[in-house]
Amino acid sequence: MSQPVKIKNALISVYYKDHLEPVIHELNRLGVKIYSTGGTETFIRSLGADVIAVEDLTSYPSILGGRVKTLHPKVFGGILGRRSLEQDLQQLEQYEIPEIDLVIVDLYPFEETVESGAGHDDVIEKIDIGGISLIRAAAKNYKDVVIVSSKDDYPVLEELLKTKNGETDIEDRKTFALKAFNVSSNYDTAIFQYFNQDEQMPVFKQSIQQSQVLRYGENPHQQGVFYGQLDAMFTKLHGKELSYNNLVDVDAAVALIDEFTEPTVAILKHTNACGIASRSFIKEAWIDALACDPVSAFGGVIIANDEINEDTAIEISKLFYEVLIAPAYTKEALEVLQSKKNRVILIRNQVELPVKQFKTLLNGVIEQDKDAVIEGPSQMTPVTNAQPTEQQLKDLFFANKIVKHTKSNTVVLAKNDQLLASGVGQTSRVDALRQAIEKAKSFGFDLNGAVMTSDAFFPFPDCVEIAADAGIVAVLQPGGSIKDQDSIDMANQKNIVMVTTGVRHFKH
């Protein structure tokens, strides 16, 4: 059926009444008969509009503390009756069931109640039964019925009532039905996730209502969309919209900076840190982070875990970068930074981040816990004759945090809370080490006294020998190879420190 349907009867039963008043006035103007329940009925009466209690339609009271009030054939028959079937119309007439052409129903705030920390019994009471049934029924019969399932659509309905004088066409109704099924499926997913917190049932379900279309995906010929509340995560102060690649780098930057508590600045390129340093003041952290690799830093993502002041902003603005993230900026700093037209400046807000990661793979999805482990000095077990000094343990801890967030195979070289260089994403650990040594030397770093960390063990002594000959004095590795002793023997031969952690940090 594609002909317009005139709204004659409406059922309205909502939790949220914000912005509902103009809709009621329009329905009243059009002479639509309104059926309602409880607080919504009282609200409609307060607006001076005529309303019929659902109890008067069903001749049955609301029972069980309001758990059962609309679950009745006279309600669902009026919604599900097919106007194109003579048999349905005859039964509606036989049982004195009015055709309900418009249903405005939302759902109890289940997700909000869970997020509030409410007790289990309170959460259970927010599982809507009647509302979800009404929404599904009306959406199923979209050929004849308009279903409005969210307060966000009240203005849309109001405009439709005004411009079409109470009539709707099939596309109107189908669009509302699409939104309704989205609401109902999201609601069911939230309830399932609440019950499945211990993952008793290993199924993959995700439902994210907010989305943002990106300029394109990883490349211009690919489409890209971000699903989530980006505005809750960041407050954008300046610059263009974030791209797909920006978001991937920003995600890596946030994960890395969260490892550090002292004033720290990190510069990332293609999700890997090309510069990072921790210092007493954020300006010094920036200067030393940039010194790690000022070439790769060009066009990168910068993140700080402390307020950006004017002096730091002046230094940062000398470099072309894509995105700058910090928890705060001084007024003077913003004046400096906002003088650059297209550079994105973000304030990072405190938002709880997911503890799971997933991505599409082959013909399915893989999911895992986030890598929330990081080994400090107390988890480092010396395995060589030489024992680590306090400073070496501190540097190993600093470098280990970077290894955790760098693409495998990787080797990280660091000294005095500063990244000197890293070998990133190599197919051989020897190649990763040689890359790191060459890079560090190209930027004038003295590797004597530096430390080396790896995301996996050294099954052969070659890396330890190369590192020691370059001036490295301490090595961290997970340990666990059947040939660990070969590397340990080489470390003893070179009189350098080696510690193991028992934990690896692959990042593919």
Give the residue numbers marked as catalytic.
140, 270
SS3 of 129-184: the string is CHHHHHHHHHHHCCCCCEEECCHHHHHHHHHHHHHHCCEECHHHHHHHHHHHHHHH
The upper half-sphere exposure of residue 382, i.e. CA atoms within 13 Å in the direction of its Cβ, equals: 14
Residue 287, Cβ density class (10 Å: 0-12 exposed, 13-18 middle, ≥19 buried)? middle
Dist CA 370 CA 478 (whole Å): 18
* Amino acid, single-letter form, for residue 103: V
3 state SS of 78? helix
Q: How far is CA 20 from CA 5, 152, 435, in A?
A: 22, 10, 64
Contact 505, 384 (CB under 8 A): no
> Residue 272: which residues within 8 A CB-CB, separation 6 or more?
252, 405, 406, 407, 422, 424, 425
Q: What is the DSSP string of 28-43?
A: HHTT-EEEE-HHHHHH
3 state SS of 178? helix
First to last CA, the chain: 53
Beta-ladder partners of 267? 275, 302
Kindly tell me the sign of the dihedral angle through the C-alpha atoms of 390, 392, 393, 399: positive
Contact 497, 399 (CB under 8 A): no
**Mode of pairing for the β-strands spanning 474-477 and 451-454:** parallel
Q: Which residue has the tokens 């939104």?
A: 179
> Residue 284: which residues within 8 A CB-CB, separation 6 or more?
277
Sheet holding 411-414, edge to edge: 381-382, 497-500, 474-477, 451-454, 411-414, 419-423
* Amino acid, single-letter form, for residue 414: A
Dist CA 172 CA 102 (whole Å): 12
Dist CA 178 CA 404 (whole Å): 43
Residue 261, Cβ density class (10 Å: 0-12 exposed, 13-18 middle, ≥19 buried)? exposed
Q: Which residue has the tokens 């259970």?
A: 124
The upper half-sphere exposure of residue 56, i.e. CA atoms within 13 Å in the direction of its Cβ, equals: 10
Is residue 498 within a helix (H) or strand (E), and if so which, with residue range? Answer: strand 497-500
